[in-house]
Amino acid sequence: MSAVLASQDRPQARWAGSRDALHSEWTKLRTITGPGLALIAAIALTAALGAIAANAAGCQARGCQIDPAKVSLTGIYLGQAIVAIVAVTVVGGEYSTGMIRLTLTAVPRRWQVLAAKAAVVSAATLAAGAVAVLGSLLAGRLLLYGHGFTPAHGYEPLSLGTAAVLRAAAGSVLYLVLIALLALGVTTAVRDSAVGTGLVLGLLYLFPIVSAVVPDRTLARHLEQAAPMTAGLWIQATRGLRSLPLTPWQGLGVLALWALGAMIIGAAVLRLRDA
Amino acid sequence: MSVITPYRTELSSSRDGFAQLLRAEWTKFRTVRGWVIGTVVGALIIVGLGVLTASKSMCSIATVTRQNPNPVFHACPAPATGPGGEWVTDSFYFVRQPLAGNGGLTVRITSLTGLYSTHGGLPSGGNLLAGMTRGVQPWSKAGIIIKASTRRGSAYAAMMVTGSHGVRMQWNFTHDVAGTAGKVSAASPRWLRLTRSGDVISGYDSADGRHWTLVGRAVLAGLPATAQAGLFAATPGYTVNSTSLGGTSSVGGPALATATFDRVSRQGTWPAGRWTGQDIQAPVDSALPRSVQGFTQGRGRFTVSGSGDIAPADSASQVEHTLGGAFAGLIAMVVIGVMFVTAEYRRGLIRTTLTASPRRGRVLAAKAIVLAAVTFVAGLVAAAITIPISEHLLRANGNPISPLSAATLLRVTAGTAALLAVGAVLAVAVGTLLRRSAAAVTAVIAGVVLPYLLAVISGVLPAGAEEWLVRVTPAAGFAVQQGAPAYHQVVATYTPGTGYFPLAPWAGFAVLCAWAAVLVTLAAFRLRRSDA
């Protein structure tokens, strides 16, 4: 009798697996106060640092080299770190509490767990990132005009109606999502929050420092082209695109490759190693 | 009726001292393989990045001769070395006579004018000065000088008028004292006087030639009995720094300064003969060629035109720059420092630790001391290996090596190690405060490395904001790695990206230490107050 019931349940259970995995991950993210607060902090700090940078910028005459969109979006340098924390803890937290064993018992197809986590984290980052970027651009629009970024000096007010600014804004949101995926993949591979955070931030912050110190310009340019943060943030450029080693979308593509690589390694480790 | 004997430990009560606590923390550190490996990897990254940087720094100049049309590459020549051992620029036009024994020289300067090129290079052939713009540079200088010899880098003392910094007395390249402010003109001329008495040179200025003010006294140790004295003119090139997406770049070109002197009077033993004009110039330098510099003399009036500068030369971005990998090492140490605390919370070991040593402040102190000692040693070994290797590689690649004093090298080496140690202590404190690995690691890295990053990769923030970031945040501590001092009398790109910090080395390090002290105090408070 019970055997018959079980066989009837099976197809339904399989179909619901993916959706349930997604649902459980969303519940986990939603019911811990940490990630929500962190994402709110990411929004506030991103916009605040952008406003500080816009307030410190100045353009006295025509021919300034300053990119107003890039200045307004300076906060992404800090915001990405907090987005990375959220992504790191989503998987690192499970390993530190042992919850991962329960999760993998409930959803034995391990790639499904990672995919569900990736989807939930991406969606949350997408929402928070959009608010942060819009806030930064609004602060920049309000502040930069008073600091000499006027039509007389060759600057139009920041507006999403401009194709370049729209690319910078949408690209910055995508940038944050890719950073979250990179952090998720790295932490799934190393299984520890501290090591995962260190690796991700090291990967992001060290490339530009090393390429600034290396005196050989060709090597520095190659380093910049390969750097997840430097290349990825070229998406924010609205001026001087010709001087960039890659186009803005190619730059974001470099980061996407890093994120993809990290996710593949993370998935492989999750699949092959005991939890 | 059994008698219950309470349990008494046989261990002596002296075993709960602070030394035992240190030993316990050291055992915890030593026995976690990941932390030991992490420390070693952090040190290896510092060495590796230093070697990479040094091995990629090439410097050579090509020469082509008529006999051999293929370019021959030579190592870059080192700049002249001043009396203090530092690199100097010593390039100017000198109208001189030997001055035997004590004596002096007094002149009046009625004008200082200049020409400069805005477009870098010079036209080949024809009139070199055609197409140049009129105007003096802020540190264009002309005046009187007493110099040990005509050798570049020899000791000197000079009184001068400048483009926009008034009258100055400068000696031995690094010393600069301000005299009367304001620009010189025919309506408001400047009188300058230098007198020698043994090794002491005194500089005076005056607006009318009657009332004199002492500007400064220079002691030039070992000045020969017969020194070279006379009139000079020099000017650094025109430079404009612009910040763009690719970083800070300088554009500009060479400049020429011309000054008019009259009422030249000499005190002491001077020869009766004529003044000799001589262009003091480096083999390779950015000054204008010999043909446009020179002097004219007539009816008591001298006109001297010169190019170049008498000032300290930029000697950064050398050996100490190869320690840039300290950032990578720091990130490794921060991760270990945070885990040293958060791992105890994660495993519940903290309850055992605090039961064994109920005085919680001492537990934190023991952790901080053990970690600081380990990271200091790792950093010291890494820096002590990196510096000689990279110096050897830089030399082999043809780079002239700027002379760093032993004290500076020691400060840079020990400072790098101390930087890692204080960074690790900061991580222990933040780990205790936040108790969460990811948040703590991010907080420390965002506090220490991110400000430096934003300051180094120019083009993101305006210059003023960059300076403040490396002044007030823990990133100020990286100032301890600065090798060469910045000089206010030299126009150069003194930015964190080129290895110069707004705070003095130890002052910057003190800012980092202050952050660490505050955070350790807060951590001790939290550890004492909240349940583990």
Backbone angles phi, psi at A14, to 5 degrees: -65, -45
Name every chain A residue with its beta carbon within 8 A of the beta carbon of B442: 81-82, 84-85, 197, 201
Whole-number percent of chain A with pLDDT over 70: 91
Q: Does B450 touch chain A (CB under 8 A)?
A: yes
Q: State the pLDDT at residue A2.
A: 46
Question: How confident is the model over B148-174, as a mean pLDDT?
Answer: 90
Residues of A whose CB is below 8 A from B456: 208-209, 212
Work out the number of other CB atoms within 10 angstroms of the CB of residue B479.
Answer: 25
Q: Tell whether the model's pLDDT for residue B461 goes beyond 60.
A: yes
B454 contacts on A by Cβ (under 8 Å): 74, 77
**CB-based contacts of A3, cutoff 8 Å, min separation 6:** none
The yes-or-no verdict on residue A102 having pLDDT over 50 is yes
Q: Is there a contact between B122 and B156 (Cβ–Cβ < 8 Å)?
A: no
Q: Does A53 touch chain B (CB under 8 A)?
A: yes
Residue carrying the six token digits 């307030």: A55
Tokens representing A79 are 């915001």
Q: How far is CA B249 from CA A137, B300, B487, in A?
A: 28, 45, 20
- What digits encode the pLDDT tens for the residues A25-61? 888 888 887 888 889 999 999 999 888 888 877 776 6
- Which of B246, B331, B335 comes nearest A243 by C-beta? B246
Amino acid at A108: P
pTM: 0.81
Size of interface A-B (CB pairs under 8 A): 148
Measured between CA atoms, how close is A109 to chain B, in angstroms?
A: 27
The C-alpha atoms of residue B188 and residue B98 are separated, in whole angstroms, by: 30
Using CB atoms, pick whichever of A85, A209, A239 lies closest to residue B453: A209
B414 alpha carbon, distance to own chain's centre: 17
- Residue B260, strand partner residues: B111, B303
Does B241 lie at the interface with A, CB-CB under 8 angstroms? no
Burial class (CB in 10 A: 0-12, 13-18, 19+), B87: buried
CATH (residue range B88-312)? 2.60.120.200
For B12, phi then psi, to 5°, come to -75, 150
| Dihedral sign, Cα of residue A113, residue A114, residue A120, residue A123 | negative
Quote the pLDDT of residue A1. 45
Looking at residue A15, its pLDDT comes to 44
Answer whether B63's CB lies under 8 Å from B77's CB: no
| pLDDT (tens digit per residue) in A170-224 | 999 999 999 999 999 999 999 888 889 999 998 888 888 887 777 677 778 888 8
Contact assessment for residue B318 and residue B387, using Cβ atoms and an 8 Å cutoff:
no
pLDDT band at residue B14 under the 50/70/90 scheme: low
- Which residues are CB-contacts of B465 (< 8 A; sequence separation ≥ 6)? A52, A53, A56
User: How many Cα atoms are found within 13 Å in the side-chain-facing hemisphere of A195?
Assistant: 20
Alpha-carbon dihedral sign for residues B292, B297, B303, B304 = positive
Reading the block at residue A236, the tokens are 């924010």
Q: Which of B342, B449, B465 is the closest to A205 by Cβ?
A: B449
User: Contact B439/A84, CB-based, under 8 Å?
Assistant: no
Q: What is the DSSP letter of B348?
A: T
Find the distance separating the first CA and the last CA of chain B, reported in whole Å: 42
Q: What is the pLDDT of residue A189?
A: 93
Q: What is the pLDDT of residue A61?
A: 66
Please report the pLDDT score of residue B326 as a whole number. 87
pLDDT tens digits, residue range B464-473? 677 788 889 9
Contacts of A208 in chain B (CB under 8 A): 453, 456-457
pLDDT for residue B16:
63
- The amino acid at B90: D
Q: Compute the distance between CA of residue B390 and CA of residue B413 in angstroms, rounded to an integer.
A: 13
Determine the pLDDT at residue B311: 86
- Residues pairing with A266 in the sheet: none
> B327 contacts in A (CB within 8 Å)?
205-206, 209
Rounded Cα distance, B385 and B388, in Å: 6
User: pLDDT value at position A3?
Assistant: 47
Chain A, window 176-205: residues with a beta carbon less than 8 angstroms from a chain B beta carbon: 192-198, 201-202, 205
Contact call for A85 and B438, based on CB within 8 A: yes
DSSP letters, A189-210, are HH--HHHHHHHHHHHHHHHHHH
Domain definitions of chain B by residue range: 17-54+317-529, 88-312
Please give the DSSP secondary-structure letter assigned to residue B76: P
Residues pairing with B74 in the sheet: B61
Q: Contact A194/B342, CB-based, under 8 Å?
A: yes
Interface test mutation site (partner B, options A188, A190, A193, max chain B beta carbons within 10 A): A193
Q: Are strands B247-253 and B238-244 parallel, antiparallel or unpaired?
A: antiparallel
The verdict on B402 touching A (C-beta cutoff 8 Å) is no
ipTM over 0.90: no
